[in-house]
Amino acid sequence: MKLPELLAPVGSAEHLKTAILSGANSIYLSGENYGARKYAENFSLPEIREAIKYAHLHNVKAYVTVNTLIKEGELKKVSEYLLQLYKMGVDAVLVQDIGLINIINKHIPKLNIHASTQMNLHNIEGIKWAYDHNIKRIVLPREIEMRELKEIVEYAHSLGIEIEIFAHGALCYSYSGHCLLSSLQGGRSGNRGRCAQPCREQYELSINKSKRISPKNEGNYLLSPRDLSLYENLDEIVNLGIDSLKIEGRMRSTDYVATVVKNYRKRLNRLRYDKTSKSLNRNINESIKKTKKGKKGRKSDLKKIEDKEKIESLKKIQKEENRNSEEELGLVFNREFTAGHLIPKNNPMIMNRKKPGHQGLYIGNIHRYNPQTEEIHILLNDNLIHIPEKGDGILIESRINRENSDERNNKSNKNNKNKQNESKSNKKDKNKKKIKRMENDENYHSIIQTYGFDISSKPVLKDSKDKHWRKREKDKDIEGKLLVIKRVRENKRIPFPLEKGSKVYLTKRNSLINEVKNLKSDKSKHMIKKSNLELYFRIDSDNYPHLKGNLKLDNGKVITLKIRGEMPWEEAIKKPITNETIKKQLMKIGDLPYYIEKITVNNNKSLFTPISGINELRREFFDKLEEEVINSYIPTDEDIKIAEENIKELSKELDRKIDLKAKVKSEQENNDLKSNAKLENKNKNSKNLSIYINSLESLKEINKINDLSNTLFNRIYLEIPPNRRLDEITKDRIENYNPNDSKELNISYCVNFLKSAINLAQDQDYELIWKLPDIAHKQSKESIVKILGILNKMNLHINIMTSLIGLDDSLKDKFKLELYGNYPLNVYNAYSVMELKNYKTLCISPELYKKNIEKLMEDYYTNKNNEGLSEMEILVHGKIEAMTTRKELISKKQLKLIDKYNKKMRRDKMDISSNEFYLKNRKDQYYPIRTSINEDNLIILNSEEFCLIDEIDYLKSIGIKNYSIDCRWKGIDYIRDIGMVYRDSLDNDDYDLGEFKEIINKHSEQLTKANFDIGLK
């Protein structure tokens, strides 16, 4: 059985050695810049060099993450950084930015590329694109399901591409690379490694910004997923042929890295080396066959029984080992675990709305609390292995009732009446204000409080099976084990109710922490895969010692090294050196990561040398062997020289400067001369304005506007709207959930919608373009192909807007259509534009700062004439998509409240079809929730409306000719007014900006420029 590589996170030098000693096959780390975990400790260039050396010496591959989006002004530095990594012998770099892939393939072609999960390659067309772009491995999105994974793995392997999946660690609510929420909220972009984790904050579901949907006892962390753990599913995953299992966690503790890597290593090893069980199973099957043939006998029957007993014993041991590992995994960090999207039956169990951080290992519930002795009696879970000890950390979680809490507070106040003073009175007033605020919360009558402490004295463990204990105890109905711990005295005055039934968690385990601390010194705990070494020792005719070695590395290479001692050995006067002594001294290699599987000594002479001479020979050999191992990963001098020259040429290319605004002005004047009439040119709308819409009604109204005046829009990006409401889709998913159901689009509905749209667009001056969903898993992708195929048979032609890498080329070739690129393509630099030349237009990322855009356009115009590049477009108005997700948002409890509200609206004869759903954060900002024609996904829009009306002149001056406004889910008055404002501002230089702002403000309450003025770091 081929096991997948176990890939460990390394956020610091301490992580590095811990991960390798714990059994990692490979590690991934980041430099001080360009990595997706900016706030990890990370590595300087010299530290990366040493980390790579250490990893390679221990048979471990080293990958460096260069997986942020790269601004135009960073391209020179990042290309030089990539060259340094290549010269160090890094095994691969992990990349998100499409422009960076272009640079590597052109200038450092022998540097291995791994496609980051941020690239969101999630179907076989994406895999084909990766193959065509020299990508050696793809890290799949966490949203991939098992049946999709099987197809992708088979197809990737047929092309020689490796597949990596996340096995353990944090889950993002959004598809990676499709989340702008942190960027839009505070300028900290996940695409730049600075995510502020807004998905771990509290939100509230709202209908029409007026009706709160907040069930009791559910929690308000609506976007906070559990942690991923595929530990229980490793056998199933290994059988798929996955190449690499990735552990997330460069910003977590060393204890976490050690514990997670160790336990996954052990489980994988058990899957490989469980030969005893397989052998016993074969023996049983053989004996059964013999019995059927009539070969019976007491000995064979006894053997069969013994084998069965051994198997049962092995299974019992393995079950206990797995349970121990699962408890340790929960101890070091968990938000509750889930198998995520990969195991479909767990899909509704992905979210944890109650707590966004580490909760510890759930060990049981409080059975009773004795206030006189301050003893807490905890009824432990069955089969709990990690029973708390002195020094361990405990967290008690109690759900208290409002009325009971008030009674306790009143009683306490009465007993302490004579002790009250002004200070306490002030505290009471503050508490009253706090309670008043809490009363406005529907969850107030059931409040979760937590109380934590380290166990200060040795706990007492009691078992209900002990008859003497049962007689002494009041609670004779207890079944199981009780742990009695003392409440810590310094926390005695904290007013916390230790209620019966309160949950108890183990949050810190000293023995586990000490195990990690002692890992380096305790060699019995090391799980390094050592390289096999054969040694050959001989004495030549001149009595010089020779040592030769053949070392087999995990990367397939074999290193042969020969050395000769500096001095000949002398004839022995008394006692010659024996062959056994030579072997013994050569075997003393200490902590070196080699396993000497064979040692041959060829010495037939009676010679003598001091033991120090043999030791010196051994040290010299292994010093040189270390150099050879490190050098075996380094590119050849010729390859390095080629790469250096290429990067030097790239630097010159990037240093070329043009006067962008003068270039744009000159180009415009040339266009005016060619048209031979400036007025005529002006009427031709030299600047194109596109609009996003998602209804046929909007399209009809645009046609009416065009009939009354000049063409308002040059292009219409038409998205097919879902034909069901969000609550209807959610209800169907919850009540009729079947992981094996097909999730294809409603083909008939889509074809009819597009057919109507194409007919409406006939004889119009605009171009109609179908905006595809930004996510297309297997069923959705196949539906898109079917829809275009049906339209093609009906002789109906429509071009498409997409951000689906790989599928774009496939559709273009199959149906001979034009491509328009949407902003989820994350175009940050001109080299991304060069790589995406198959598109007619490309939308610049809305995350970019104005000066970043200007620099991009400068390099764009520098290369435009030579490269035949796509035209550039920029979104100037509308709600930016903050998140695209495959995870649930509305729970069963919320759905019941929504149904109740809908029934009330129907009784009041109100229209529920116009209900809109929002997420409200703590700042009272409302984020619209939208569905896609792909009902498998949700879209969360930004709370504020993006608006660049006062930047139009600047954008025109830097050469942008294509502009777009997003008017999906908007009425015709909005479309007409906003469209005319931008049309006039693009066609004229002397427009009234104040008047335009008044028109925009009439339709939009909150406006933002996002990062356009301030910029991302």
List the Cα angle 501/503/505 in 5-degree steps: 150
Torsional sign, CA 751, 752, 758, 759: positive
In tens, the pLDDT along 356-384 reads 999 999 999 999 898 888 899 999 999 89
In angstroms, the CA 346 to CA 904 distance is 33
Q: What pLDDT is stored for residue 157 in this prediction?
A: 97
Q: What pLDDT is stored for residue 775 in this prediction?
A: 95
In angstroms, the CA 175 to CA 881 distance is 12
List the Cα angle 396/400/404 in 5-degree steps: 135
Please tell me whether residues 233 and 89 are part of one structural domain.
Answer: yes
In angstroms, the CA 628 to CA 563 distance is 13
In angstroms, the CA 982 to CA 299 distance is 92
In tens, the pLDDT along 467-483 reads 666 555 566 667 888 99
Please tell me whether residues 283 and 265 are part of one structural domain.
Answer: no
Tell which of 566, 601, 633 closes a domain: 633
Cβ proximity of 820 and 799 under 8 Å: yes
Of the listed ranges 91-100, 603-612, 953-962, 977-986, the one predicted with least confidence:
603-612
Residue 433 reports pLDDT greater than 60: no
Q: Which tokens hold the place of 176?
A: 């990676």
In angstroms, the CA 828 to CA 98 distance is 9
Please tell me whether residues 703 and 825 are part of one structural domain.
Answer: yes
Averaged pLDDT score across all residues of the chain? 88
CATH number at 769 reads: 3.20.20.70
Q: Which tokens hold the place of 99?
A: 């422009």
Q: What pLDDT is stored for residue 372 in this prediction?
A: 87
**Best CA proximity match to 891, nearest among 416, 221, 263:** 221
- Phi then psi for residue 225, to 5 deg, are -80, 160
Considering only the C-alpha atoms of the chain, give the largest distance between any 2 of them, rounded to a whole number of Å.
117
3-state secondary structure 446-475: EEEEEEEEECCCCCEEEECCCHHHHHHCCC
Please tell me whether residues 282 and 390 are part of one structural domain.
Answer: no
In angstroms, the CA 101 to CA 826 distance is 13
Q: Taking residues 625-645, report their average pLDDT.
A: 96
In angstroms, the CA 596 to CA 586 distance is 10
Listed in sequence order, the residues at least 6 apart from 34 whose beta carbon sits closer than 8 Å to its beta carbon are: 65, 66, 67, 68, 70, 74, 78, 81, 193
Residue 926 reports pLDDT greater than 50: yes
Please tell me whether residues 382 and 396 are part of one structural domain.
Answer: yes
Cβ proximity of 122 and 141 under 8 Å: yes
Please tell me whether residues 187 and 156 are part of one structural domain.
Answer: yes
In angstroms, the CA 835 to CA 229 distance is 36
| H/E run at residue 66 | strand 61-66
Q: What pLDDT is stored for residue 39 in this prediction?
A: 82
Q: What pLDDT is stored for residue 733 in this prediction?
A: 85
DSSP-derived letter for residue 844 is: B
CB 213: neighbour CB atoms within 10 A?
23
Give the CA-trace dihedral at 427, 432, 437, 441, to 10 degrees.
120
Percent of the chain's residues with pLDDT above 70: 87
3-state secondary structure 115-173: ECHHHCCCCHHHHHHHHHCCEEEEECCCCCCHHHHHHHHHHHHHHCCEEEEEEEECCCC
Helices (H) and strands (E) in the chain, counts: 31, 39
Domain-located, residue 735: no
Domain-located, residue 481: yes
Residue 310 pLDDT class (50, 70, 90 cuts): confident
Domain-located, residue 353: no
In angstroms, the CA 465 to CA 301 distance is 37
**Per-residue DSSP letters for 394-435?**
EEEEEEEEHHHHHHHHHHHHHHTGGG--HHHHHHHHHHHHHH
Residue 316 reports pLDDT greater than 50: yes
The distance from CA 787 to its chain's CA centroid, rounded to whole angstroms, is 32
Its domain, for residue 584, covers 531-633
Of the listed ranges 107-116, 310-319, 805-814, the one predicted with least confidence:
310-319
Listed in sequence order, the residues at least 6 apart from 787 whose beta carbon sits closer than 8 Å to its beta carbon are: 745, 747, 750, 751, 754
Residue 267 reports pLDDT greater than 80: yes
Please tell me whether residues 279 and 248 are part of one structural domain.
Answer: no
Domain-located, residue 643: no
Residue with tokens 């989006």: 69
The domain tally of the chain equals: 5
Please tell me whether residues 250 and 305 are part of one structural domain.
Answer: no
Of the listed ranges 394-403, 923-932, 955-964, the one predicted with least confidence:
394-403
- Phi then psi for residue 758, to 5 deg, are -65, -40
**Best CA proximity match to 714, nearest among 692, 687, 689, 694:** 689
Alpha carbon separation from 45 to 86, 88, 114, 638, 774 (Å, rounded): 12, 10, 20, 23, 37
Please tell me whether residues 247 and 282 are part of one structural domain.
Answer: no
Domain-located, residue 586: yes
Residue with tokens 């010269």: 87
In angstroms, the CA 805 to CA 122 distance is 9
Please tell me whether residues 10 and 148 are part of one structural domain.
Answer: yes
Tell which of 500, 520, 540 closes a domain: 520
**Best CA proximity match to 356, nearest among 499, 172, 179, 190:** 172
Q: Are strands 926-931 and 962-966 parallel, antiparallel or unpaired?
A: unpaired
Cβ proximity of 34 and 3 under 8 Å: no
In angstroms, the CA 828 to CA 855 distance is 10
Residue 443 pLDDT class (50, 70, 90 cuts): very low
The winner for highest mean pLDDT among 28-42, 477-491, 680-694, 746-760 is: 746-760
Q: Which residues of 785-806 are buried (b: 16+ CB within 10 A; e: fewer)?
A: bebbebbeeeeeebbbbbbbbb
Q: Which tokens hold the place of 304?
A: 């069969």
Domain-located, residue 1015: no
CATH number at 469 reads: 2.40.30.10
In tens, the pLDDT along 471-530 reads 555 666 678 889 999 988 655 566 677 888 999 999 999 999 999 999 988 888 899 989
In angstroms, the CA 187 to CA 184 distance is 6
Cβ proximity of 844 and 865 under 8 Å: no
- Identify any residues that bridge with 945 across adjacent strands, giving them in sequence order: 1007
Please tell me whether residues 861 and 718 are part of one structural domain.
Answer: yes
In angstroms, the CA 373 to CA 498 distance is 13
Domain-located, residue 892: no
In tens, the pLDDT along 858-884 reads 999 988 766 689 999 999 999 999 999
Domain-located, residue 896: no
Cβ proximity of 190 and 269 under 8 Å: no
Alpha carbon separation from 660 to 394, 852, 864, 976 (Å, rounded): 63, 13, 12, 33
In tens, the pLDDT along 581-624 reads 999 999 999 889 999 999 999 998 899 999 999 999 999 999 99
List the Cα angle 438/439/443 in 5-degree steps: 75
Please tell me whether residues 65 and 120 are part of one structural domain.
Answer: yes
Q: What pLDDT is stored for residue 515 in this prediction?
A: 92
Tell which of 590, 608, 633 closes a domain: 633
In tens, the pLDDT along 182-234 reads 999 989 999 999 999 999 999 999 999 999 999 988 899 999 999 999 999 99
Residue 283 reports pLDDT greater than 60: no
Q: What pLDDT is stored for residue 659 in this prediction?
A: 86
Q: What pLDDT is stored for residue 408 in this prediction?
A: 47
